[in-house]
């Protein structure tokens, strides 16, 4: 009733039910999730939470488990309480396990109420420093998640700040030296020595090769609909976690088969067809993620557009754009968003030909599509979070799928 009333008043109805539930029953969320036989899984880190959560949920469902999860827009405690309240039937969640995506700060509040049985810590990257502070602060937040985990903690072997997080039982995911060049770090941009091959920590699942869409792991191979090296590494993380959850029930063959069917999450490398021409929408939000996308997803034949906003969800400080090497792009057809001129300046200092700048995002998208439709080449759009939302809305208005 609260949710419906909120929607009638113009709200989304996502958080208000959680607020009411918390007032009526302060321990509602803890009690509701405590009923689940496989417990609770928390997935956190700077990059890849939404995609990795989707992979984990789909793999567990393919294995026959009923999974409760939260939409990416409800990745805070009150939002999860709202979703749980709305999905309950006769006072119980119809699920075997809960898999929740939480950002670093909200995860700390959640695990104090609901200690997870499993947690997956993906990475610590320079993202929204104006919100979270330096990466050491973010690492300390993630360490609190591991501390409250009652079962297994799955950690990224290749991230020094994550690999060293203390935990009771921990396992690792990672990548082999043969694909290390697909994962550039911040220091290498400024001439630091190339990192040595991955460390000696044993990883339960590693990404051993990536040839186009074919990802090879140490447990087998899968043709991925999820493009990019970062998504292949997210898949390795998800496989490592699911292997821990399922134990003897885990089948590498079945999991890899299910993995090959998973489509990109909302706005994360989604593909569209515009009048018969492919268009890929790629979310970028920090220097490491942008560099990995350029290294592994950029299509040299494609017409390129970049849209940069600086709203709260994007992070206000856009100086990180100067820590991305854009020289791989010969030209950019359109630059847009609130910080369009900052982006255009950065591209020009890298010798990239910028054809047009338009700060009005809907107008820029319309111009970009009009200019490139009918030229028999793909299109790619790199966008920060709020810009990505507007781009998807514009594409939906054109009724493209």
Q: Return the percentage of the chain with pLDDT > 70, whole number.
A: 88
2-259 CATH? 3.40.1190.10
* CA 142/CA 129 separation, integer angstroms: 15
270-397 CATH? 3.90.190.20
What DSSP string runs through 45-68? SSS-HHHHHHHHHHHHHHTT--EE
> pLDDT tens digits, residue range 73-103?
566 777 788 888 888 888 789 999 999 998 8
Q: Which helix (H) or strand (E) holds 288?
A: helix 287-296
* CA 342/CA 316 separation, integer angstroms: 13
Q: According to the model, what pLDDT value does residue 401 have?
A: 43
Which of 41-50, 245-254, 294-303 is modeled with the greatest confidence? 245-254
- Beta-bridge partners for 303: 379
* Angle, vertex CA 98, rays to CA 94 and CA 101, nearest 5: 140
Give the pLDDT mean for 6-10.
Answer: 65
Give the pLDDT mean for 23-38.
Answer: 88
Q: What is the dihedral of CA 117, 122, 128, 133, to 10 degrees?
A: 70
Q: Return the percentage of the chain with pLDDT > 90, whole number.
A: 48
Q: pTM, whole model, 2 decimals?
A: 0.79
Q: According to the model, what pLDDT value does residue 191 have?
A: 53
Banded pLDDT at 20 (limits 50, 70, 90): confident
Residue 152 has pLDDT above 80, yes or no: yes
Domain ranges of the chain: 2-259, 270-397
Which of 41-45, 176-180, 183-187, 374-378 is modeled with the greatest confidence? 41-45
Q: Checking DSSP bridges between strand 67-69 and strand 40-44, what pairing results, if any? A: unpaired
Banded pLDDT at 197 (limits 50, 70, 90): very low
């Amino acid at each position: 009733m609260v949710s419906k009333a909120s929607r009638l008043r113009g709200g989304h109805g996502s958080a208000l039910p959680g607020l009411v539930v918390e007032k009526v029953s302060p321990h509602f969320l803890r009690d509701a999730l405590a009923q689940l036989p496989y417990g609770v899984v928390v997935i956190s880190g700077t990059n890849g939470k939404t995609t990795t959560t989707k992979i984990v949920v789909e793999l567990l469902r393919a294995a026959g488990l009923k999974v409760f999860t939260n939409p990416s827009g409800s990745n805070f405690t009150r939002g999860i309480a709202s979703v749980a309240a709305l999905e309950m039937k006769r006072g119980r969640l119809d699920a075997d396990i809960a898999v929740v995506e939480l950002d670093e700060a909200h995860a700390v509040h959640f695990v104090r109420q609901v200690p997870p049985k499993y947690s997956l810590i993906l990475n610590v990257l320079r993202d929204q420093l104006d919100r979270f502070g330096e990466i050491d602060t973010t690492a300390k937040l993630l360490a609190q998640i591991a501390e409250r985990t009652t079962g297994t903690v799955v950690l990224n072997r290749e991230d020094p700040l994550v690999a060293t997080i203390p935990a009771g039982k921990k396992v690792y995911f990672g990548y082999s030296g043969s694909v290390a060049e697909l994962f550039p770090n911040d220091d290498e941009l400024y001439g630091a020595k190339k990192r040595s091959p991955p460390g000696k920590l044993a990883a339960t699942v590693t990404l051993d090769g990536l040839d186009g869409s074919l990802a090879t792991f140490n447990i087998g191979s899968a043709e991925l609909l999820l493009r990019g090296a970062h998504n292949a590494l997210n898949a390795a993380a998800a496989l490592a976690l699911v292997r821990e959850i399922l134990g003897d029930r885990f089948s590498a063959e079945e999991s890899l088969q299910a993995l090959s069917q998973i489509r990109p999450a909302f706005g994360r490398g989604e593909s569209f067809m515009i009048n018969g021409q492919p268009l890929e929408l790629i979310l970028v939000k920090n220097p490491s993620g942008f560099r990995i996308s350029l290294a592994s997803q950029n299509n040299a034949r494609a017409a390129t557009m970049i849209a940069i906003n600086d709203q709260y969800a994007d992070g206000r400080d856009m100086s990180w754009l100067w820590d991305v090497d854009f020289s791989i792009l010969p030209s950019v057809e359109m630059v847009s968003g609130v910080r369009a001129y900052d982006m255009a300046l950065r591209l020009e200092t890298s010798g990239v030909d910028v054809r047009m700048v338009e700060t009005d995002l809907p107008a820029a998208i319309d111009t970009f599509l009009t200019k490139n439709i009918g030229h028999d080449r793909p299109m790619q759009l790199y966008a920060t979070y709020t810009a990505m939302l507007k781009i998807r809305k514009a594409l939906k208005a054109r009724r493209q799928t």
